[in-house]
Structure 1
Amino acid sequence: MDIIIGCKNFELTPSLRTYIEEKVGKLANYWDRIIRARVELEVDKNKRGGLIHSAIVTLEVPGPDIRVQEEAGDMHAAIDLTMPVLERQIKKAKNKLEHTDWRHMDKAKEKFRQWYERMRGNNK
């Protein structure tokens, strides 16, 4: 899984990069079909003069992408807050993809086969 990290309004430290790669890398244990993870980090000032650290993690998976955004007092906490939500969303997407009811496809195949046999019979 590729991990792309982007930062806005602050400099990414090597220790934070390692922390993100470890945390996001563990998500591959839940589903091996994660294609890419994009992590967007941002630091803004709030109205009282403090700092708001936000982390947006987007996972590219089969089907709709999974996106989680969290804010906290420091960047490590914001990243930590995204992890349980991402784990739940991954399990939900994986379950939905693996347990889709494909019986309707069997009916469509049968109708196509019948149509094909009729068409083939008309050409003889």
Structure 2
Amino acid sequence: MNLTISGHHLDVTPAIREYVQNKLERITRHFDQVIDSHVILCIDNLTEKEKRQKAEINLRLAGKIVHVASAAHDLYAAIDMLMDRLDRQVVKYKQMLKDHDNACIKRMSEGGEEEPAAA
């Protein structure tokens, strides 16, 4: 998995970089087919001081791009919310793939003939 972490109006310290990498390990534990991810951390000059720190991620999976954003008063809290939302979306996508694979199997009777469709 390729990981890109960039900061807008802030310097990405090694501590923040390591924190994001540790949180992304949880995502790769659930779904290992992640191609690459791009994390953007920024500080906005908003009048609302409780939501100045923003974190966004674009996660590219096989056949889908997942975009998640979160804002909080603390950058670490924004990253935590971001990873929670991302985790839910990845698990939902994985479940959708699993259900879709099982939906296309034709039901066969014991004699080897297809069962008639219910009208």
Normalised by the length of structure 1, the TM-score is 0.76
Match of 1:70 in 2: 70
Instruction: Say which SS state the counterpart of residue 3 (structure 2) adopts.
Output: strand
The alpha carbon displacement at 1:64 in A equals 2.0
Matches within 5 A, 1:98-113: 98-100=98-100, 101-103=103-105
The alpha carbon displacement at 1:49 in A equals 6.5
Aligned positions, number: 104
Q: Which has more helix, going by share of residues?
A: 1
The alpha carbon displacement at 1:103 in A equals 4.2
**Counterpart residue identity of residue 17, structure 1:** R
Instruction: Say which SS state the counterpart of residue 52 (structure 2) adopts.
Output: strand
Q: Deviations along 1:73-118, whole A, 9 cap, x unmatched? A: 11111000011211111111111112212248xxxxxxxxxxxxxx
Normalised by the length of structure 2, the TM-score is 0.79
Q: Distance between the aligned counterparts of 1:93 and 1:72, measured in 2? A: 26
* Stretches of structure 2 lacking an aligned partner (at least 5 in a row): 107-119
Q: Deviations along 1:9-38, whole A, 9 cap, x unmatched? A: 111111111101111122100001111111
* Stretches of structure 1 lacking an aligned partner (at least 5 in a row): 105-124
Q: Distance between the aligned counterparts of 1:42 and 1:9, measured in 2? A: 6
Match of 1:52 in 2: 52
**Counterpart residue identity of residue 68, structure 2:** V
The alpha carbon displacement at 1:2 in A equals 1.6
Query: What's the % identity of the aligned pairs?
Result: 28
Q: Distance between the aligned counterparts of 2:53 and 2:60, measured in 1? A: 23
